[in-house]
Amino acid sequence: MQISKMIFVIFKRFQALLLSLLLACFIISCDGGEGALDPNGQDDHTELLTNQVNNVIIPSISNYKDATETLYLSANNFCSSINDSNLNSFRDAYHNTYKSYQSAALHNYYANINYDLVNTTNLFPIDTLLLKNIIISTTYNFSSESQKRANGFPAIDYLIYSSQNTVGLFTSDEKKCSYLLKLTESIKNKAVQLDNMWGGSLKENFISNDGVEIGSSIHVQLNSALSYYEDHIRENKVGLPIGRIGPLDSPIEADPTKIEAYYQSLYDGNDLFALSLVKESIQEMEGLYLGGNTLRNSSINSGYDRLLISRGHTEVDSDIKSQFDLIYAKIDERTSISGNTDLYDSIQGLITIMKSDLFPLLNIQDADGKNDGD
């Protein structure tokens, strides 16, 4: 009791001095350093999430849907009059749709249909024997596990680029057109379903599921996008063909057949189209980061860049943007994916920055939140 009395007396005597010292220290802390008093700092993420939906997700999915409708129409035109002109039109529609797919597929979250989208629309390489048997049988199930390796864009690639005489092959075998029409219809239907979902309550739910906690839209979007980026962009598009699985793993045997649009690469004698697909997917990732697909090199910050900048992390924002520049430079440097370890490393570089800087600085957790934490 005497000790407590003593402390009380000391405090009373020196409280003015103590309070002044505290106030001085506090004022010194309020310097203009990192992220101090930022008038542009967001007080919630409604604007960011609205930008994501209106300028990134829905445009990409909507463009993809439109492209699949054009693809289907073009397939009908080709099959109703099989000739080189219609084949070229169909090929153009296929190119456009395949590119649009790259953007839509990144947003493989919330809508369950997306699982189907990724796994039945772009699993490569295809099993050519399986595909031939399915065409012969005329029994199609584009959602089944058993036909997943004879499906989607890789199947179209095989049908229209595996031969120098595509028109002849289609003319002599009507079952090919039958399959092609059903396949493009299936691709279109899935795209329409996806577009409808995002046009409905999913959009409002995405915007309203605010915050950065586990399960929030930001948490789900960033984690899902990064997971897609690692598996489907880094590994499937580049890693497997060049023989790199995981950035720290020993090389495996390179397999140049394991690229997107493989048969077109053989047909053209280069991987330029496959590289363009990689570029589309990277651009979508960049659009997600910037909050808009047309904001590259813009001074407008309306995505995750804005969150970083508002908290004083301009250096990390700059690193991310520079990494995208590097990836594009590596894509443009070559005409082949084979042996393109520089491209792989540059794609990997973005993962490193996102995991080690973007996620921690925005307080995005990657665990499932079990148990308390203190």
Partner 1 sequence: MLVKTADKIIKKSFETTDISPLITFRIFFGVTLFITILRFWVNGWIEELYINPEYHFNFIHNIDVLPDIGIYIIFTVLLVLSIFITFGLFYRTSTSTFFLLFTYIELIDKTYYLNHYYLVSVLTFYLIFLPANRAFSLDCYFNPLLKSNLCSKWHISLIKCQLSIVYFYAGLAKINKDWLIRAQPLYTWLPGKFGIPVIGKFAHLKITALTFSWIGCIYDLTIWLFLWIKKTRKFAFFAVIVFHIMTGILFPRIGMFPMIMIAATTIFLPLNFHIKCLELLSIKKYETKSERISRKKKKSVLFIYYLMVLFLGIQALMPLRYHVFSNNIYWDEIGYRFSWRVMLMEKNGFTNIVIIDPRKKIQYQLDQDLYLSKFQQQQMKSQPDMILQFVNYIGDEFKEINGYPPVINIHSRMSLNGRKSQPFFIDTVNVYKNNADKFLHDFKS
Which positions lie near partner 1, rule CB under 8 A? Answer: 1, 4-5, 7-8, 22, 25-26, 28-30, 33-38, 41-45, 210-213, 246-250, 310-311, 313, 315-316, 352, 355-357, 359-361, 363, 365-374
What's the closest the beta carbon of residue 123 comes to partner 1, in angstroms?
22
What's the closest the beta carbon of residue 260 comes to partner 1, in angstroms?
25
| Rounded CA separation 145/133 (Å) | 15
Nearer residue to partner 1 within complex by CB, 186 or 348 = 348
> Is there a cis peptide before residue 39, judged by omega within 30 degrees of 0?
no
What token pair was written down for 206? Answer: 């995405």
Nearer residue to partner 1 within complex by CB, 283 or 301 = 301
Amino acid (one-letter) located at 147: Q
Segments of the chain assigned E as strands: none
Contacts 24+ apart (CB under 8 A), 358-361: 358/222, 358/304, 358/308, 358/316, 358/320, 359/222, 361/308, 361/311, 361/313, 361/316
Phi, psi of 117 (to 5 degrees): -60, -50
What's the closest the beta carbon of residue 149 comes to partner 1, in angstroms?
24
Nearer residue to partner 1 within complex by CB, 213 or 332 = 213
What's the closest the beta carbon of residue 104 comes to partner 1, in angstroms?
27
Give the CA angle between residues 364, 366, 371 to the nearest 5°: 105
Burial class (CB in 10 A: 0-12, 13-18, 19+), 224: middle
DSSP character for 229? Answer: I
What's the closest the beta carbon of residue 228 comes to partner 1, in angstroms?
17
Nearer residue to partner 1 within complex by CB, 11 or 115 = 11
What's the closest the beta carbon of residue 8 comes to partner 1, in angstroms?
5
Nearer residue to partner 1 within complex by CB, 20 or 257 = 20
What token pair was written down for 70? Answer: 């054009």
Nearer residue to partner 1 within complex by CB, 135 or 316 = 316
Amino acid (one-letter) located at 75: A
What's the closest the beta carbon of residue 122 comes to partner 1, in angstroms?
24
Nearer residue to partner 1 within complex by CB, 39 or 269 = 39
Nearer residue to partner 1 within complex by CB, 184 or 323 = 323
What token pair was written down for 99? Answer: 């590119």
| Rounded CA separation 205/246 (Å) | 35
Q: Are 152 and 39 in contact (CB under 8 A)?
A: no
What's the closest the beta carbon of residue 36 comes to partner 1, in angstroms?
5
Q: What is the CA radius of gyration of the chain?
A: 26
| Rounded CA separation 90/176 (Å) | 14
CA 229 to chain centre: 6
